[in-house]
């Protein structure tokens, strides 16, 4: 039915590469233009978000194109959070129900896997070391510079997808059009990547199937496992202030600080000082914009339209879900009016992109501060019990985001309602067993019936 299009995707990262597979499956001819050289022949840049947490929304998009099993081979399930306190004591919090997990994958490894899966397709062509200099949205002409040879060329696809990330060049062009809403907001925190290497026998130095957190109030370190036995640690730390990147100037400053606040990690990080002073400080930006498309000729997707901070582990998952949603819309698309299709897509996804952006900022506070508190862990246990007792009514917010395909915006709204109920419930609870007290059970029944009624009422209104 649909007319075959010449499609250019700017950016051959995770979203661009996966999108190429989905578009080629519908018979389109796809060219990907990537600023960096081919990851498979060049050493990957170190020091920058080199592993990611893949969860249900991401898996769904991989499954949709039949490559879930390939990726699962290189993914490590993380079943719980392990919190490390300042004495090296551990506490634990499961991520979901029995059997549920999020998966640690290497950004580079996953990108290579997606490239290897898509490149043999005769309708997909990768062009590396191509920097987009300028995009003319009216004509869809993109001026590209080959960063190896210095030569420039101009391409003019039928459709242009901007999968070129948080600092998207395609979005930059849209920003110059009339009435483009745009927002970039930086946290006062940066991040630095460090390593816990594999043990001598190639094993994991700390619990393998977990996401480790050293929560310290206004800052934190986390660690995610890699398949080679190492962990990638990320220190999220203020730029300025008493305890900040600005105030760690010497190796002595660094070791004093780490020994004091991350004492159990230090012996596991032999390259700490070298890595700390060599690796760059990354910034943490949220980008929101609207619209995401221009005249049915170009469309932003993934981080280009909605860059989020990493604290919900949803950046890639949200980008992959963009592809799932677009593909669903293409199922019933007659191939005629791309402008209307793109408008439907951006209107559908925008509230969810905004929601996950806001949830990600909120979750930073939970991770760096709240998870260290016994009251928080008690509350999570109680919430687990509510969810067990009322499985149809109550899915915890984290689970809605991570283990379902409920819209992010619905998850956030429902999460705020749950928050209110939890506040009331926790007034009656000092220990887990208090959950069975009649007043708690009565309160819950009353609150949840109210909630159900509201839901039904809302459902009727739709």
Decide if residue 178 touches a copy of itself (CB under 8 A): yes
Closest CB to a copy of itself among residues 235, 325: 235
The reply on whether position 154 binds a copy of itself by CB under 8 A is no
Regarding 177 and contact with a copy of itself (CB under 8 A), the answer is no
Window contacting a copy of itself (CB under 8 A); options: 40-48, 174-182, 247-255, 401-409: 174-182
Question: Among 132-140, 143-151, 178-186, 225-233, which window interacts with a copy of itself (CB under 8 A)?
Answer: 178-186
Q: Measured in Å, how far apart are the chain's first and last C-alpha atoms? A: 32
Shortest distance, position 140 Cβ to a copy of itself, whole Å: 24
Residue 196 Cβ vs a copy of itself, minimum distance, rounded to whole Å: 29
- With contacts defined by CB under 8 A, how many residues of the chain interact with a copy of itself? 12
Cβ burial, residue 449 (10 Å; 0-12/13-18/19+): exposed
Minimum separation from the CB atom of position 175 to a copy of itself (A): 8
| Residue 148 CB coordination number (10 Å) | 10
Q: Which of 79, 109, 116 is nearest to 94 (CA)?
A: 79
| Per-residue contact string for residues 283-312; x = within reach of a copy of itself by CB under 8 A | x-x---------------------------
Yes or no: say if 181 and 273 are a contact pair by the CB < 8 Å rule.
no
CB of 287 to a copy of itself, least distance (A): 10
Gap between the Cα atoms of 54 and 314, Å rounded: 8
183 binds a copy of itself (CB under 8 A): yes
Task: Take residue 371 and report the two structure tokens written for it.
Answer: 């998870």
* CA pseudo-torsion sign 441, 447, 451, 454: positive
Q: Return the H-helix or E-strand segment holding 268.
A: none
Per CB under 8 A, the list member of 180, 376, 390, 410 interacting with a copy of itself is 180
Q: Show the beta-strand stretches assigned E in 95-219.
A: 102-106, 124-127, 130-136, 141-146, 152-155, 159-162, 181-196, 210-215
CA atoms of 352 and 426, how far apart (whole Å): 29
Closest approach of Cβ 179 to a copy of itself, in Å?
Answer: 4
Query: Contact at 8 Å (CB) between 323 and 365?
Result: no
Choice from 138, 185, 427, 458 touching a copy of itself (CB under 8 A): 185
Residues 186-215 binding a copy of itself (CB under 8 A) are 186
Place of tokens 């549920």: 100
Tokens 């490239």 appear where? 115
179 scored as a contact of a copy of itself (CB under 8 A): yes
- Residues in region 225-284 near a copy of itself by CB under 8 A: 239, 283
Q: How far is the CB of 343 from a copy of itself (least distance, A)?
A: 12
Residues at the contact surface with a copy of itself, assessed by CB under 8 A: 178-186, 239, 283, 285
């Amino acid at each position: 039915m649909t007319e075959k299009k010449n499609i250019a995707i700017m950016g051959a990262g995770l979203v661009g590469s996966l999108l190429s597979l989905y578009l080629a499956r519908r018979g389109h001819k796809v060219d990907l233009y990537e600023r960096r050289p081919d990851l498979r022949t060049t050493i990957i840049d170190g020091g920058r978000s080199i592993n990611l947490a893949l969860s249900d929304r991401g898996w769904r998009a991989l499954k949709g194109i039949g490559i879930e099993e390939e990726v699962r081979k290189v993914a490590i399930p993380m079943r719980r959070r392990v919190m490390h306190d300042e004495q090296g004591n551990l506490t634990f919090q499961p991520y979901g129900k029995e059997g549920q997990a999020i998966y640690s994958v290497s950004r580079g490894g996953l990108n290579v896997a997606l490239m290897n899966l898509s490149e043999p397709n005769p309708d997909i062509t990768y062009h590396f070391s191509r920097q987009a200099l300028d995009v003319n949205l009216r004509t869809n002409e993109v001026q590209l510079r080959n960063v190896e040879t210095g030569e420039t060329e101009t391409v003019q696809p039928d459709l242009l997808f901007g999968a070129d990330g948080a600092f998207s060049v395609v979005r930059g062009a849209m920003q110059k059009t009339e009435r483009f809403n745009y927002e970039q907001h930086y946290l006062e925190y940066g991040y630095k990547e460090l390593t816990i290497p594999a043990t001598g026998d190639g094993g994991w130095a700390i619990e393998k199937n977990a996401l480790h957190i050293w929560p310290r109030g206004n800052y934190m370190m986390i660690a995610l496992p890699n398949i080679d036995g190492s962990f990638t640690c990320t220190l999220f730390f203020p730029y300025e202030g008493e305890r900040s990147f600005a105030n760690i100037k010497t190796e002595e400053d660094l070791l004093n600080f780490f020994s004091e606040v991350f004492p159990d990690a230090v012996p596991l990080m032999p390259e700490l000082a070298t890595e700390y002073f060599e690796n760059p400080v990354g910034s943490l930006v949220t980008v929101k914009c609207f619209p995401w498309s221009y005249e049915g000729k170009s469309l932003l997707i993934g981080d280009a339209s909605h860059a989020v901070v990493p604290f919900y582990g949803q950046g890639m998952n949200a980008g992959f879900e963009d592809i799932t949603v677009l593909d669903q819309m293409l199922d019933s698309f007659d191939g005629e009016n791309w402008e209307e299709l793109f408008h439907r897509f951006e209107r559908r996804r925008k509230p969810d992109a905004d929601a996950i952006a806001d949830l990600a900022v909120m979750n930073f506070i939970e991770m760096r501060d709240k998870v260290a508190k016994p009251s928080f862990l008690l509350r999570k246990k109680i919430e687990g019990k509510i969810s067990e007792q009322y499985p149809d009514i109550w899915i915890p917010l984290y689970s809605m985001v991570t283990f379902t395909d409920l819209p992010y915006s619905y998850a956030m709204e429902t999460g705020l309602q749950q928050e209110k109920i939890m506040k009331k419930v926790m007034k009656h609870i000092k220990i887990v067993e208090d959950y069975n007290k009649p007043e708690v059970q009565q309160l819950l029944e009353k609150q949840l019936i109210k909630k159900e009624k509201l839901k039904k009422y809302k459902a009727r209104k739709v």
